[in-house]
């Protein structure tokens, strides 16, 4: 609502139709006026009764008793109604909505009472006594001034009483004529105008005050709505450290708990809740000793930070692994290549050294062994790149488990320069006589596992190999060596590309550091896995596991399996 003064506001305030209080500001104005009228009903009722009685007593010597009673009884009756109205409304709760109906009734009542008071100068005043006339006029003026002072901000009510009370005596004095009467008439007119204008000014002040409060409440509601809808948790603590304002997010995150914040100036610290949520707490001290505390959810930021730290750690480890790999490969590739080049040069016609047939055979064997070793290194790298790019297809076929193991053992022994395969203790369960898996992938896994076992096994002890089906129906092949073992902290790291648990030992035995990585990738391509069980100083068991569907069709399925009794001792020995 516009708070500026409209030139027509005076006329509207006095004579315009009382608008419906549909607007928030008009509602509050009506509410203030209604409360003011109800609050002063008792005083106005008593004033009417007492002052009316004084006028009636003063008129006893100048007017007939009948006229006095006809005038005073309505005054007394309406005064009593005002008293009872106060008694009735004072105990009622403040209405949530004010329509203006009560004010319209108060306006009519004011007009009626003012009319009765205005009739006093006609019914009770004596034309023969100027003193009595002046007394009646002064009582009428006092009633008008008193009502205006009490109900000034309600000009429609006060103006009705003022006009009804003072207009008759003013007109009467104009009619009587004479200097004295005309003076009273002019003063009465000015007095009426002053009272009405004063009431209008009071109304404007009330309207301005209510508008200010209304705007303040609106701003407060908008601020509260903004705080309530914020994604951050907002709270305000007074100088006594009591929570006075908190939005829904703060209540959700802290409930009745009071966060431990610092009131010493500004403070921004990360906070971890019991729920695992990360918050950034920002505290700002107010001028009056309070504090505004805002919590912002930074869980996603913290998660991203952890991911970056982990990625950085992995990148550093990958770089270190790559450096180790390049260092190893520079040795692993140059050594067999130098052997091949050296012996082949001795065997060419350009050599001035005469070679016996035994020398040629020995040199040829060395060249073949070095070439085989070099080919294995290259195959590991190529296969790893294929698996890493997921370009190695797998095709499951029926495989004879014993034949597969025999071939893998023979090839691994050949790679490691073992002429005899008597160092192996191999046992295959009847339940896994046939294996349904990819031949190339399975063979590569077994060759790598057996090769590692040969490399690290303690001389004089047999390598144990068991193939069977576990109680859940899943096939497994376990390879057990009696080497120095792997620390528990490194059991998973050895599956990382280019990682070697003991670089000096691995370099002595050769290898790229890709063998176990390649084994696990290949096993997982077949929905299986490769796991290690190891204990330092005892040995290591490498276990290839495959899904139940990998059990061959012609394998025995009748008798209960004792295969867990085979694998159990192997695991217990190293667990």
- Report the share of the chain in percent with pLDDT over 70: 80
The C-alpha atoms of residue 541 and residue 567 are separated, in whole angstroms, by 9
Instruction: Give the span between the Cα atoms of 323 and 341, in whole angstroms.
Output: 26
- Region 451-476: mean pLDDT is 91
SS3 state at 214: helix
- Residue 571: exposed, middle, or buried by beta-carbon count in 10 A (0-12, 13-18, 19+)? middle
DSSP string of 413-458, one letter each residue: HHHTT----TTEEEEE-GGGSEEEEEHHHHHHHHHHHHHHHHHHSP
Let me know: does 236 contact 243? Beta carbons within 8 Å.
Answer: yes
First to last CA, the chain: 85
Q: What is the pLDDT of residue 387?
A: 57
pLDDT above 50 for 227:
yes
- What's the rounded Cα separation, in Å, for the pair 234 and 142? 57
pLDDT at 468: 94
Continuous segment of H or E residues that includes residue 111: helix 101-118
Predicted local confidence at residue 34, as pLDDT:
83
Average of pLDDT values for 181-186?
A: 85
50-99 pLDDT, tens digit each: 998 998 888 888 888 898 899 899 999 999 998 988 888 877 777 667 76
| The pLDDT of residue 448 is above 80 | yes
Q: Does residue 394 or residue 129 have the better pLDDT?
A: 394
Q: How confident is the model at residue 575 (pLDDT cuts 50, 70, 90)?
A: very low
The answer, yes or no, to whether residue 408 has pLDDT greater than 90, is: no
* Chain mean pLDDT for the chain: 80
Highest mean pLDDT among 19-23, 157-161, 244-248: 157-161
Question: Does residue 297 carry a pLDDT above 90?
Answer: no
Helix axes 299-347, 357-388, angle to 10 degrees: 160
Parse the chain into domains and list their residue ranges: 9-225, 233-297, 305-366, 377-574
Q: What percent of the chain is predicted at pLDDT more than 90?
A: 18
Highest-scoring range by mean pLDDT, 35-49, 244-258, 341-355, 416-430? 35-49
Residue labelled with tokens 């070099």: 374
Q: What pLDDT score was predicted for residue 414?
A: 72
**Is this prediction's pTM over 0.75?**
no
Average pLDDT over residues 357-382: 76
pLDDT tens sequence across 88-128: 887 777 766 776 778 888 889 999 999 999 888 878 776 66
Does the pLDDT of residue 503 top 60, yes or no? no
pLDDT at position 529: 95
**pLDDT of 349 over the 90 cut:** no
Q: How many other CB atoms are there within 10 angstroms of residue 141's CB atom?
A: 19
Looking at the predicted structure, is the pLDDT value of residue 566 above 60?
Answer: no
- Residue 574: predicted pLDDT: 47
Q: pLDDT tier at 548 (50, 70, 90 boundaries)?
A: very high
The average pLDDT across 383-406 equals 77
Q: Are 279 and 231 in contact (CB under 8 A)?
A: no
- Asked whether residue 43 carries a pLDDT value surpassing 70, the answer given is yes
- Where does 90-150 have alpha helices with state H? 101-118, 120-123, 130-150
Report the SS3 class of residue 28.
helix
Range in 151-160, 290-299, 338-347 the model is least confident about: 338-347
* Predicted pLDDT of residue 544: 96
More confident residue, 494 or 49: 49
Confidence at residue 504, expressed as pLDDT on a 0 to 100 scale: 47
Question: Does residue 186 carry a pLDDT above 50?
Answer: yes
How far, in Å, CA of 114 to CA of 157, rounded? 10
Residues for the chain: how many in total?
A: 575
DSSP of 186-212, one letter per residue?
HHHHHHHHHHHHHHHHHHHHHHHHHHH
Please state whether beta strands 463-469 and 475-481 pair in parallel, antiparallel, or not at all (unpaired): antiparallel
What pLDDT does 435 receive? 93
Instruction: State the pLDDT at residue 427.
Output: 93
pLDDT at 263 over 90: no
Residue whose pair of structure tokens reads 């691995």 in the numeric block? 506
Res. 531 pLDDT band, cuts 50 70 90: very high
Interval 226-230 mean pLDDT: 83
**What distance in Å separates the CA atoms of residue 279 and residue 273, rounded to the nearest whole number?**
8
Least confident of 91-95, 166-170, 291-295, 367-371: 91-95
The pLDDT of residue 264 is 58
Instruction: Given CATH 3.30.420.40, say whether it is the number of domain 377-574.
Output: no
Question: Residue 166 to residues 176, 202, 356, 414: CA-CA distances in angstroms?
Answer: 16, 21, 153, 133
> How confident is the model at residue 507, as a pLDDT?
46
Structure tokens at 517: 């990585």
320, 300 contact by CB (below 8 A): no
Cβ neighbours of 305 (radius 10 Å): 12
Taking 3-state DSSP, the helix, strand and coil percentages for the chain, each rounded to the nearest 5, stand at 60, 15, 25
Question: Region 321-335: what's the mean pLDDT?
Answer: 67
Q: Between helices 179-228 and 130-150, what is the axis angle to 10°?
A: 10
Residue 55 CB neighbour total at 10 angstroms: 22
């Amino acid at each position: 609502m516009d708070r500026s003064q409209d030139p027509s506001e005076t006329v509207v305030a006095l004579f315009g139709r009382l608008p419906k209080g549909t607007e928030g500001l008009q509602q509050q104005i009506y509410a203030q006026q209604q409360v003011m009228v109800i609050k002063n009903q008792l005083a106005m009722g008593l004033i009417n009764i007492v002052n009316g009685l004084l006028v009636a007593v003063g008129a006893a010597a100048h007017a007939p008793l009948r006229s006095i009673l006809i005038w005073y009884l309505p005054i007394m009756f309406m005064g009593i109604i005002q008293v009872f109205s106060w008694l009735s409304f004072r105990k009622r709760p403040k209405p949530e909505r004010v329509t203006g109906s009560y004010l319209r009734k108060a306006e009519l009542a004011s007009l009626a009472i003012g009319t009765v008071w205005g009739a006093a100068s006609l019914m009770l005043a004596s034309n023969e006594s100027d003193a009595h006339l002046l007394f009646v006029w002064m009582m009428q003026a006092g009633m008008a001034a008193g009502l205006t002072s009490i109900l000034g901000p309600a000009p429609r009510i006060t103006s009705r009483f003022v006009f009804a009370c003072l207009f008759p005596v003013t007109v009467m004095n104009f009619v009587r004529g004479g200097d004295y009467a005309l003076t009273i008439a002019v003063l009465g007119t000015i007095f009426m105008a002053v009272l009405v204008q004063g009431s209008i000014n009071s109304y404007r002040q009330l309207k301005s005050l209510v508008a200010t409060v209304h705007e303040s409440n609106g701003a407060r509601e908008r601020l509260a709505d903004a705080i309530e809808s914020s994604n951050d948790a907002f709270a305000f603590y007074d100088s006594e450290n009591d929570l006075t304002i908190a939005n829904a997010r703060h209540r959700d995150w802290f409930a009745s708990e009071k966060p431990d914040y610092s009131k010493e100036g500004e403070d921004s610290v990360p906070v971890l809740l019991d729920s695992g949520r990360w918050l950034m707490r920002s505290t700002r001290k107010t001028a009056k000793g309070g504090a505004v505390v805002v919590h912002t959810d930074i869980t996603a930021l913290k998660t991203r930070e952890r991911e970056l730290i982990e990625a950085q750690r992995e990148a550093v480890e990958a770089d270190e692994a790559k450096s180790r790999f390049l260092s190893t490969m520079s040795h692993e590739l140059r050594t067999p290549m130098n052997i091949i080049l050296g012996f082949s040069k001795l065997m060419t016609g350009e050599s001035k050294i005469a070679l016996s047939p035994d020398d040629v055979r020995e040199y040829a064997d060395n060249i073949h062994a070095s070439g085989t070793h070099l080919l294995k290194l290259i195959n590991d790298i190529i296969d790893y790149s294929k698996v890493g790019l997921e370009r190695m297809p797998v095709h499951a076929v029926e495989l004879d488990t014993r034949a597969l193991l025999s071939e893998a053992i023979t090839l691994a022994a050949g790679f490691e320069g073992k002429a005899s395969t008597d160092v192996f203790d191999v046992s295959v369960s009847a339940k896994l006589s046939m294996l349904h898996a990819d031949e190339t992938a399975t063979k590569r896994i077994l060759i790598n596992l057996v090769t590692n076992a040969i490399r690290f096994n303690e001389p004089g002890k047999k390598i144990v190999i068991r193939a069977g089906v576990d109680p859940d129906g899943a096939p497994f092949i376990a390879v057990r060596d009696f080497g120095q073992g792997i620390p528990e902290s490194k059991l998973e790291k050895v599956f990382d590309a280019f990682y070697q648990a003991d670089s000096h030992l691995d370099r002595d035995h050769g290898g790229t550091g890709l063998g176990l990585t390649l084994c696990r990738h290949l096993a997982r391509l077949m929905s299986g896995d490769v796991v290690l069980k190891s204990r330092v100083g005892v040995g290591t068991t490498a276990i290839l596991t495959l899904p139940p569907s990998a059990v061959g069709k012609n394998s025995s399925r009748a008798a209960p399996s004792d295969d867990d009794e085979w694998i159990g001792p192997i695991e217990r020995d190293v667990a």
